[in-house]
Amino acid sequence: MNNQTWQIRRRMESNISEVMLIRGGRVVDPANDFDDIADVLIVDGRIAAVRPNISFSAQYEYNAAGKLVVPGLIDMHVHLREPGQEAKEDFISGSKAAAAGGFTTVATMPNTSPVVDNAALVRAMIHRAEEVGIVNVKIIGAVTKGQKGQELAELRDMIDAGAVAFSDDGHFDDNAKIFLNALDYLHDTGKVIICHEEETTLVEGGVMNEGKRSALLGLKGRPTVAEDIAVSRDALLAEYTGGRVHIAHISSARSVDIVRYAKELGIKITAEVTPQHLTMTEDLVNPTDASTKINPPLRTKADCDALLAGLLDGTIDMIVTDHSPHAPEEKDREYIYAPSGFPGLETSVGVLFTELYHKGKIDLKTLISKMTAEPARIFGLDAGTLSIDAPADITIIDPDLVWTVDAKNFYTKGSHSPFIGRELKGRAVATIVGGNLMKLNQR
Secondary structure (DSSP) of 289-346: BGGG--SSPP--HHHHHHHHHHHHHTSS-EE---B----HHHHSS-TTTSPS----TT
Residue-wise pLDDT tens digits, 146-172: 999 999 999 999 999 999 999 999 999
Q: Which stretch of DSSP H or E encloses residue 226?
A: helix 224-241
Going along 64-219, which residue ranges are E strands?
Answer: 68-71, 73-78, 103-108, 136-141, 165-167, 193-195, 208-209
Catalytic residue (one of 29, 90, 322, 393): 322
Per-residue pLDDT at 2 = 38
Q: Which stretch of DSSP H or E encloses residue 368?
A: helix 364-369
The radius of gyration of the chain from alpha carbons, rounded to an integer in Å, stands at 21
Per-residue pLDDT at 438 = 86
DSSP type of residue 407: G
51 CB burial (10 A radius; 0-12, 13-18, 19+): middle
Distances, alpha carbon 418 to alpha carbons 31, 241, 276, 423, in Å: 33, 40, 9, 12
> What is the full DSSP assignment across 152-197?
B--HHHHHHHT--EEE-TTS----HHHHHHHHHHHTTTTPPEEE--
Per-residue pLDDT at 441 = 62
Per-residue pLDDT at 329 = 93
Per-residue pLDDT at 5 = 37
Per-residue pLDDT at 413 = 97
Per-residue pLDDT at 97 = 97
For all residues of the chain together, what is the average pLDDT?
A: 94
Alpha carbon distance 286, 275 (integer Å): 19
Alpha carbon distance 314, 311 (integer Å): 5
Per-residue pLDDT at 57 = 85
Q: pLDDT per position in the chain (443 positions), as tens?
A: 333 333 433 333 334 458 999 999 999 999 999 999 999 999 999 999 999 999 988 899 999 999 999 999 999 999 999 999 999 999 999 999 999 999 999 999 999 999 999 999 999 999 999 999 999 999 999 999 999 999 999 999 999 999 999 999 999 999 999 999 999 999 999 999 999 999 999 999 999 999 999 999 999 999 999 999 999 999 999 999 999 999 999 999 999 999 999 999 999 999 999 999 999 999 999 999 999 999 999 999 999 999 999 999 999 999 999 999 999 999 999 999 999 999 999 999 999 999 999 999 999 999 999 999 999 999 999 999 999 999 999 999 999 999 999 999 999 999 999 999 999 999 999 999 999 998 766 65
Annotated active-site residue 35? The verdict is no
Per-residue pLDDT at 15 = 40
Per-residue pLDDT at 101 = 97
Q: Which stretch of DSSP H or E encloses residue 442?
A: none
Per-residue pLDDT at 4 = 39
3-state secondary structure of 267: coil
Alpha carbon distance 399, 67 (integer Å): 7
Per-residue pLDDT at 1 = 30
Q: Which stretch of DSSP H or E encloses residue 393?
A: none
Alpha carbon distance 32, 39 (integer Å): 15
Whether the CB-CB separation of 230 and 193 falls below 8 Å is answered with no
| 259 phi/psi in degrees, rounded to 5 | -65, -40
Cβ-proximal residues to 348 (8 Å cutoff; 6+ apart), any chain = 75, 101, 102, 275, 319, 321
Per-residue pLDDT at 14 = 38
